[in-house]
Amino acid sequence: MIKSEEYIEKFKDEYSFRLAKKTLDVYKTALEQLFNHCEKPFKEITVKDIRNWLVFLDSNGYRPTAVKTKLAGLKLFYKYCLEEEIITHNPLASIGFPKVEETLPRYLQIDQLTQLRKIVEGKLWERAIIETLYATGIRLSELAAMKKDDIDWSERIIHIPQGKGKKARIVLFTNACAAHLNAYIQNRQDDLPFVFVNPFGRKKVGTRTINTRFETYSKLLGFPLTPHTLRHTFAAHLAIKGMPLECIQVLLGHDSPHQTQIYARLYNYARKQKYDEWM
């Protein structure tokens, strides 16, 4: 008899070309939590079992956003099992997602961006990272994986061969970004193929290293700041300048209805802010 763990691995293999490894690992953890809580074969788990598990999560302080992510993994797994005829009934079919109060993605005002640039003045590595994140809107993981060969300097284009969901796309960058990026690369002493390497120049930069720097920036500046904040800032500033939402979505690499809805709200909010300045 095939054990639950083996079905989980088969599920991960099936979706490995469509979802990021990090996402699949989160889904696997959620499945294991459910199976351990119910203490029965996953094929025998009922709607009541799942609802009891959700009550357990709530009583143990899990946030609605975390529960929503876990449910997304469970729904996808049971959908897969149903399609593969491993089960005949999906216990998740009638269970909806918890309501999550969604706030607008936070982005920097122009003066805040200026403050950020000032505290890294003269630091080639840090300034290049900040300018690249802001000018392209790429994710931190995409920046860390970026290689020199991905950059087309003449066209000011960067190829992102494997973004979220393993989808390729291209992004643009400004002349100002090009200047800081080139200054950093030309100052390097290593032969590594990556655009950004760790401060010691021995391997590609890790996402944790950059996140730690941004935690320091946040403390120095006195407002919340992460690498992802610059992605939101990229989108909001383009909206303020009048770029159509559809174009911004393409540059961000978004295609899900949920992502589109969130950034549509951000887009409208940013445009209204600009309107209010003129009225």
Token pair belonging to 231: 């992605």
152 forms bridges with which residues in the sheet? 157
Residue 174: what pLDDT? 93
Specify the residue for token string 């887009």.
267
Measured at the CA of 273, the angle between CA 271 and CA 278, to 5 degrees, comes to: 100
Clarify whether residues 127 and 261 are in a common domain.
yes
Q: What's the mean pLDDT in 52-60?
A: 91
Token pair belonging to 139: 């994710």
The dihedrals phi and psi of 187, each to the nearest 5 degrees, come to -85, -10
172 forms bridges with which residues in the sheet? 157
Clarify whether residues 185 and 251 are in a common domain.
yes
Residue 1: what pLDDT? 41
Residue 237 lies in a domain: yes
Residue 104 lies in a domain: no
pTM above 0.85, yes or no: no
Clarify whether residues 17 and 122 are in a common domain.
no
Q: What is the pLDDT of residues 203-252, one digit of tens each?
A: 999 999 999 999 999 999 999 999 999 999 998 888 888 888 888 888 88
Residue 253: what pLDDT? 83
**Domain CATH code at residue 196:** 1.10.443.10
Coil vs helix vs strand at 158: strand
Q: Is the pLDDT of residue 255 over 80?
A: no
Q: Are strands 157-160 and 151-152 parallel, antiparallel or unpaired?
A: antiparallel
Dist CA 231 CA 135 (whole Å)? 9
Domain ranges, residue 216: 110-278
